[in-house]
Amino acid sequence: MTNDDIRIKIMELIVPFNKKNIELKPETTFAVDLDLDSLSVMDLVAEIEDLFDIIIPLNLLPDLETIQQVSDAVEKIMGDA
């Protein structure tokens, strides 16, 4: 799966969380642009983990601000597995 494929799938998962109906771009941020609270973030993380069958470790979270960064992290975790 290419990085683009991963990003597109993640964007699909985000749609129900996109309450403000903003345009989703690679640089869209979760906290500011999407305005997700920490519980919604955890719901989203669970869905990403289920879809890609991976575990996103806790220590990565503070560095993940944008959709692109999450896509890169998922790609890396899948590559390491």
Partner 1 sequence: MLGINLMTQPTPTLDASLERKYAEFDTLIDAVEYAAKGVRGINFYSSRGELVEALTYTELRDRAVDIGKRLVAMGYEKNDRIALIADTSADFVCFFVGCQYASLLPVPLPLPTSFGGRDGYVDQLAGQMKSCGATAVVTPLSMQELVLEAANRFDFKFKGTPEQFLAEDVVLGDTRLPKTDDLDYLQYSSGSTRFPHGVSVTHKSLMVNCHDMGKYGVQLIEGDRCLSWLPFYHDMGLVGTFLTSLTCQTTVDYLPTEDFARRPMTWLKLLSDNKATVTYSPTFGYDICARRAGKSAMEGLDLSSWKVAGIGGDMIRVEVMKNFAEKFASVGFEPTTFVPSYGLAECTLAVSFMPIGVGIVVDKVDERVISGEKQAQLPHGARLNGMTNGQTNGYRDIVNCGVPLPSYELEIRDESGTALADHNIGRVFVRGESVMRDYYNDPEATAACLSKDGWLDTGDMGYMHAGSLYIVGRAKDLIIINGKNHWPQDLEWAVEQIEGIRSGDTAAISLPGTNDEEVPTLLVQCRLRDDDERKAFVEEIKIQVMKTTGIQCQIELVPPRTLPRTSSGKLSRVKARAQFISGVLSSPTVH
Question: Which residues lie near partner 1 (CB under 8 A)?
Answer: 19-20, 29-32, 35-39, 41-43, 45-46, 49, 55, 57-59, 61-65, 70
Angle, to 10 degrees, between the axis of helix 3-14 and the axis of helix 67-80? Answer: 120
Q: Which is nearer to partner 1, 41 or 51 (CB)?
A: 41
Q: Which is nearer to partner 1, 8 or 42 (CB)?
A: 42
Q: CB within 8 A of 60, min separation 6: which ones?
A: 73
3-state SS class at 37 = coil
> What is the nearest approach in angstroms of partner 1 to the Cβ of residue 5?
21
